[in-house]
Amino acid sequence: MRKLWLTGLIGLVFTFGSLADEKKDPPAPSREEAFNKLQNDFRENIRPLILEYRNAADDAGRKAALDKIITYGEQAVQLAEKAPKDDTAFGALFWSLQEFGVMPTPRGKALSAKITQLLIDHHLDNLKLSRLLPAFIFGQPGENGDKLLKAAAEKSNSKEVKGIAHFALGMRLLKGNRQEQDEAKQLADAKQAAHYLEIAVKDYADQPLGRSTIGALAKSALFEAKNLNVGQAAPDFEIDTLDGKKAKLSDLKGKVVVLDFWATWCGPCKALIPHIREVVNRHKNDPLEFISISVDEDKTTVQDFIKGTPMPWTHWFNGAPSGGVAQQWNIMAFPTVYVIDAKGIIRSKNASRPDVMDKLIEKLLKESNSAKGS
């Protein structure tokens, strides 16, 4: 009897133990699983949040919508901070910087600064960082991008990371150089850009970047940094006209010259055509030469386009932007508009805005007329 009672008690213990096990909470998801879920939640909710931002009645409403979006980035960073050196942390930081690195609110700026510092503290030697840094060439994410690139260039033990960092720093400075209106600041940016690009060419030339190499891409950028600054004489070049003849930039000395790098596939380029037509007509009796340099691959494409869209000024043909003058001059965006004065000196490399173009042309024509009259 006693044995039966003891056996029954043991059975009850195991039964209650099994029930207790069944009632336990399921194990917490791994950090990688939590990060994947966060990304999925973001993809599902970002569209309505963007609509909320666009439909907001005031700045406070827009800020509230942005803060909801930024919450996803903050949660990703919190996941990274739990074990900041591992691959899950890097993935979360990489994703957060790409998605939220330029949010123009205090929380967004604080998030960008935190992500940057975590990458500097724990991932400068991570080969995967070399995949993130090229995105900084065209602007992500402000001062924090410069901070990360400089740290990578100076402190990383990865040759791949250091190479990309030097190239990206040079390209970012050139981007600022193109926008800068102050000549002294523009030259200072160009000098610093040349420093980083020379290192990129010297030490990392063979390193792959996209479909090319750092050396090949940095060569054109270095040419721009050293030779294509406001206040410098425009380098001469020879190029084909649309009718197959040869033309040289130096043949136009004595005239104000506008060089418009464009393409028929470029929407902003085509939007500028009516204004260029007005400028050319307004100054038809002035020493002004307006030249559109096409980067279309096929010359007949340009010729056919001009038949349907009147463009009564000079046309030169570069061919694809990966070659010719467009490559030598490191033309990265279209339209790119250079303005050169009658003495052959570059006076602007960013005159695609109609108001900027008009004001500068008027100024340079007056200078030219005054010089002739003196």
Q: Residue 354's pLDDT band (boundaries 50, 70, 90)? A: very high
Verify that 224 and 260 share a domain, yes or no: no
Structural domain boundaries, residue 287: 238-373
49 sits in which H/E element: helix 31-55
Task: Examine residue 14 and state whether it is found in any structural domain, yes or no.
Answer: no
Phi, psi (rounded to 5 degrees) for 157: -95, 0
Here the tokens at position 159 are 């040759």
Task: Examine residue 203 and state whether it is found in any structural domain, yes or no.
Answer: yes
Residues 223, 186: contact at Cβ < 8 Å? no
Among candidate residues 162, 150, 154, the one with its CA nearest the CA of residue 126: 162
Cross-strand bridge partners of residue 116: none
Q: Which residue has the tokens 């903050």?
A: 74
Task: Examine residue 63 and state whether it is found in any structural domain, yes or no.
Answer: no
Verify that 252 and 345 share a domain, yes or no: yes
Q: Is the pLDDT assigned to residue 229 strictly greater than 90?
A: yes
Stretch among 91-105, 244-258, 319-333 having the lowest mean pLDDT: 91-105
Read off the amino acid at residue 291.
I
The SS3 of residue 58 is: coil
Q: Which residue has the tokens 């009645």?
A: 57
The SS3 of residue 291 is: strand
Verify that 224 and 242 share a domain, yes or no: no
Verify that 300 and 190 share a domain, yes or no: no
Phi, psi (rounded to 5 degrees) for 209: -145, 110
Stretch among 23-27, 260-264, 357-361 having the lowest mean pLDDT: 23-27
Count of domains forming the chain: 2
Verify that 314 and 203 share a domain, yes or no: no
The pLDDT value given to residue 9? 36
> How far is the C-alpha of 317 from the C-alpha of 288, rounded, in Å?
20
Provide the mean pLDDT of the chain.
90
CATH number for the domain including 269?
Answer: 3.40.30.10
Q: Is the pLDDT assigned to residue 120 strictly greater than 80?
A: yes
For the residues 272-283, what does the mean pLDDT come to?
Answer: 98
Verify that 214 and 311 share a domain, yes or no: no
Task: Examine residue 42 and state whether it is found in any structural domain, yes or no.
Answer: no
For the residues 146-153, what does the mean pLDDT come to?
Answer: 95
Verify that 215 and 188 share a domain, yes or no: yes
**Domain's final residue, options 229, 256, 272:** 229
Cross-strand bridge partners of residue 316: 241, 293
Verify that 182 and 293 share a domain, yes or no: no
Task: Examine residue 53 and state whether it is found in any structural domain, yes or no.
Answer: no
Verify that 215 and 264 share a domain, yes or no: no
**pLDDT tens-digit series, residues 23-36:** 566 677 899 999 99
The pLDDT value given to residue 23? 54
Q: Residue 371's pLDDT band (boundaries 50, 70, 90)? A: confident
The pLDDT value given to residue 135? 83
Share of the chain above pLDDT 90, in %: 77
The pLDDT value given to residue 6? 38
